[in-house]
Amino acid sequence: MTITNPPPAVLLATTPFLAFRARHFGLVWLSGLIWHLCRWGVAFLGTYLINELTGSPRLVQLAGTTLYAPLLIGGVIGGVLSDRIDRLATVRIQMAAMVPITVLIGMLVRSGHIAVWMLYIYMFIVGFGWVSDMTSRRALVFDLVGDALLDKAMAMEAMSLAMGMVFGALVGGYAVESVGIGAAYFAIAGFAFLAMLVLMPVTSPTPRAAREKTPSDGPTVRELIRHRGLISILGVTVIANFFLFAYFPIIPVIAEDLDASPLQVGLLAAGTGMGMMTGSLVMARMTPRHRGRAYLAGLVVAFGFLILFAIGTSYWFVFAAIVASGVGSGVFGATQSTLVVAAVPEASRGKALGLLSMAIGGLPLGMYVLGEVAEATSPTTGLLINAIGGAVVLGAWVMFRPEVASMTDEQL
């Protein structure tokens, strides 16, 4: 790494982009930004196309379920592999695999031979790529920047996810309106190839042999699930993903009810990412001592504005509400991985991130439930029930497992 000694506290507090001084972090970050653009582009195009083909809230939400299902079933496996296999190689391989299958989907769309079941399979495969990327990339980031810059680096990671959400949705909405959905998939494939090229100069920060560990080199997965602080963090993550973030696929349906154009649909889908960018930048500048409180406060803000999003009747009011909710989500996301990585020994960070991805696996379940409720009632009613229910369950969880609320940088 370029930085070998911890920077002065004043510099850490006032320089949100300090992590970019670490060798290769900038390239890894840029590659991740492009990859997130691809993933969110796939999510937007898939839900938009399925809504066009079926008009069913249930089937639209099922698209999100298939995209995020691998988090639930493959997180721990990905985490264990991250602790044992070259993390950089894992990230490169999943990017390379995404290029040809995305080109194939684009060809099927342009030829008129695409079917909903094909999109489900494709999104499931992309979801597996996200699992491997999430568990390996974030552990790789820690290898690059170390303890002193962990908060800054994870905030920048959260910002790259938010920027990818914005650009993926905007590019998708613009492409649908200007060149068509098939060509939009070709663009996503091109971006995935670019993300792979950006990583070419990067070398692993430590020799591969140094990461080949045995089970005795740190707590096992079974031991980690007895860690009260870690479980408190992961419980909040499950609640956030089941109740809060489950609305992503249904945005085209809600936008359709507001008579939005394809570009406006993309802008609405990008609204969460715009807010998350702001929240992530705030966290990168602040480096809060009470990480646990920031984690919870961000989620409370996100739930509150999601309720306003659900009851809004005009496009620009709904857009403002989703941006504001995104700010809370950005604060939540910027502290999430930091809490998890810092709470466990270095030898088990990949496994802990695998458990985090399983907690995020509450997302496909939440998407499925929201789809069923929306089908039985209406998209806005289902969303309102989700948001209020999530706020209530969060309060109950923190009362039952309050450890996360008291976590500070010294305790971690």
Residues 82-110 pLDDT 10s:
556 677 777 888 888 889 999 999 999 99
Sign of the CA dihedral running 273, 274, 278, 281: positive
DSSP 317: H
Higher pLDDT, 320 or 346: 320
b/e map of 6-43 (b: 16 or more CB within 10 Å)? eeeeeebeebbebbbbbebbbebbebbbbbbbbbbbbb
pLDDT of residue 10 exceeding 50, the answer is no
b/e map of 323-344 (b: 16 or more CB within 10 Å)? bbbbbbbbbbbbbbbbbbbbbb
Higher pLDDT, 335 or 238: 238
What does the CA dihedral 202, 208, 210, 213 come to, rounded to 10 degrees?
A: 130
Residue 281 to residue 15: CA distance in whole angstroms: 11
Residues 164-185 pLDDT 10s:
878 887 777 777 777 888 888 9
Whole-number pLDDT of residue 320 = 94
382-402 average pLDDT score: 91
Query: Measured in Å, how far apart are the chain's first and last C-alpha atoms?
Result: 23
Whole-number pLDDT of residue 177 = 75
Whole-number pLDDT of residue 104 = 95
Confidence of residue 350 (pLDDT cuts 50, 70, 90): low
H runs (alpha helix) in 19-56: 25-54
Whole-number pLDDT of residue 388 = 94
b/e map of 78-110 (b: 16 or more CB within 10 Å)? bbbbbbbbbbbebbbbbbebbbebbbebbebbe
Whole-number pLDDT of residue 309 = 93
For the purposes of burial, counting CB atoms within 10 Å of the CB of 400, is it exposed (0-12), middle (13-18) or buried (19 or more)?
exposed
Stated as kind and residue range, the H or E segment containing 394 is helix 379-400
Angle between helix axes 87-111 and 25-54 (nearest 10 degrees) is 30
pLDDT of residue 22 exceeding 90, the answer is no
Average pLDDT across the chain, whole number: 79
pLDDT of residue 80 exceeding 70, the answer is no
Angle between helix axes 228-239 and 362-376 (nearest 10 degrees) is 30
322-328 average pLDDT score: 93
Identify the weakest region by mean pLDDT among 120-129, 250-259, 399-408: 399-408
Whole-number pLDDT of residue 215 = 45
Residues 268-322 pLDDT 10s:
888 888 888 888 777 777 666 677 788 898 999 999 999 999 998 889 999 999 9
Whole-number pLDDT of residue 225 = 66
Sign of the CA dihedral running 328, 329, 330, 335: positive
Residue 5 to residue 147: CA distance in whole angstroms: 10
- CB-hemisphere CA count at 13 Å for 167? 18
pLDDT of residue 23 exceeding 60, the answer is yes
Whole-number pLDDT of residue 13 = 46
Give the other-Cβ count within 10 Å of 410's Cβ: 6
DSSP 213: -
Residue 330 contacts residue 276 (beta carbons within 8 Å): yes
Residue 56 contacts residue 375 (beta carbons within 8 Å): yes
Two structure tokens written together for 99: 């290029």
248-275 average pLDDT score: 84
Confidence of residue 365 (pLDDT cuts 50, 70, 90): confident
Whole-number pLDDT of residue 189 = 93
Among all chains, which residue has been given the structure tokens 């980031």? 141
Residue 51 to residue 250: CA distance in whole angstroms: 9
Higher pLDDT, 361 or 191: 191
Angle between helix axes 262-286 and 25-54 (nearest 10 degrees) is 150
Confidence of residue 396 (pLDDT cuts 50, 70, 90): very high
- CB-hemisphere CA count at 13 Å for 116? 16
Residue 145 contacts residue 19 (beta carbons within 8 Å): yes
199, 264, 233: which is closest to 30 by C-alpha? 199
Among all chains, which residue has been given the structure tokens 């004043």? 10
Domain ranges of the chain: 23-203+218-406
The CATH topology of domain 23-203+218-406 is Growth Hormone; Chain: A; (1.20.1250)
pTM: 0.69
| Apex 358 CA angle, 219 and 249, nearest 5 | 160
Residues 180-222 pLDDT 10s:
888 889 989 999 999 999 988 887 665 333 444 444 455 565 6
Whole-number pLDDT of residue 82 = 54
